[in-house]
Structure 1
């Protein structure tokens, strides 16, 4: 079984370096829409067992652009557990404006030390990946771990990046560290997450052990 992860397209909040978590939404900008359509063309010949989307508009819109290009026009299943990391009152604020900045630094660089109760009253990394990885395990069980058809999950930067790392067995303390696969450094953007409209693919044979087959693929995206 393979699980395809696509991050939503670029939004205005992305450009403004605002926290855009589970309690905020900014619509896709033109390049984000173009990227979603390009991701759809990249995946147009893939017959998915199930297609899941975060309920948030930026992800669901991206999923709709992808499905519109797909030969089989699969149904999109809304999965609330694929909602983005919840930053609480920090959602929608520019990174440079939140307080205390010490907690922002922990959030971005030392996730095991981040204390949401001292920041925006959001969620911890552990609580976050507990819900997202449970959603992946349930989706694999639903489709059947030996299903030759993959699952598609359209969600968010942290959902993709941190869920994949958690499924690989990486501890919370190292969630923001560089990721190496077979000795090769995997590309990321700001603060170690995958690109907008990028494709990451995991594979599992038992719904317990996971391997990265594709990481942060973007070569199908239009250049700015």
Structure 2
């Protein structure tokens, strides 16, 4: 069984460097729309067992662009557990405006020490990945690990990246650090996050252990 993860397209909040978590949303900008369509073209010949999307508009719109290009026109199932990490009061703020700065630093550089109760009252990393990985495990179980058709999950930067790292067995303290697979440094846009409209593929044969087949693929965005 393979699971395809696509991060949503670029949004206005992305451009403005605002917190854009589970309680905020921002429309896709033109490059984000074009990226979603490019991802759709990349995946047009893939027959998916099921397609799941975060309920947030930026992700669902991206999923729609992908499905519209797919020759099998699969339905999109909204999965609430794929909602982005919640930042509470920080959602919608410019990143430079968030207080206290010590917790901003913990969020980005020391995730195991991040305490949302001292910040914006959002989620801990542990609670966050518990719900997102549960969504993946449930989807794989429903499809069956022997399915020769992959799953597609369209969501967010932290959902995609941190869920994958958790499924790989990477501890929370390492979530934001550079990722090496087989001795090779994996590309990110900074702080360990995959690119907008990127594709990452995991594979599992038991719904317990996972390995990366494709990481942060973006070549199709320049085609």
**Structure 1 residue 126: deviation in Å?**
0.2
Name 1:83's counterpart in structure 2.
83
Name 1:141's counterpart in structure 2.
141
Name 2:112's counterpart in structure 1.
112
Aligned-partner Cα distance in 2 for 1:214–1:48: 17
Greater Cα offset, 10-19 or 214-223: 214-223
Task: Give the conservation status (yes or no) of the 8 Å contact 1:35–1:222.
Answer: no
Name 1:17's counterpart in structure 2.
17
Name 1:62's counterpart in structure 2.
62
**Structure 1 residue 13: deviation in Å?**
0.4
3-state secondary structure, aligned to 1:3: strand
Which stretches in structure 1 are left out of the alignment for 5+ residues?
none
Aligned-partner Cα distance in 2 for 1:162–1:114: 15
Task: Give the conservation status (yes or no) of the 8 Å contact 1:133–1:163.
Answer: yes
Aligned-partner Cα distance in 2 for 1:198–1:150: 17
**Structure 1 residue 191: deviation in Å?**
1.8
Q: Does 1:158 align with 2:129?
A: no
Name 1:172's counterpart in structure 2.
172
Runs of 4+ in 1 over 4 A off after TM superposition: none
Name 1:125's counterpart in structure 2.
125
Which stretches in structure 2 are left out of the alignment for 5+ residues?
none
Aligned-partner Cα distance in 2 for 1:85–1:124: 9
3-state secondary structure, aligned to 2:117: helix
TM-score by length of 1: 0.99
Per-residue CA deviation, residues 118-172 of structure 1 (Å, 9 max, x unaligned), is 0000000000000000000000001111100000000000000000000000011
TM-score by length of 2: 0.99
Q: Does 1:97 align with 2:97?
A: yes
**Structure 1 residue 74: deviation in Å?**
0.1
Name 2:190's counterpart in structure 1.
190
Alignment of 1:33-72 (within 5 A): 33-72=33-72
Over aligned residues, Cα RMSD in angstroms? Answer: 0.7
**Structure 1 residue 222: deviation in Å?**
3.3
Aligned-partner Cα distance in 2 for 1:146–1:159: 25
Name 1:5's counterpart in structure 2.
5
Give aligned pairs, total: 223
Aligned-partner Cα distance in 2 for 1:196–1:137: 24
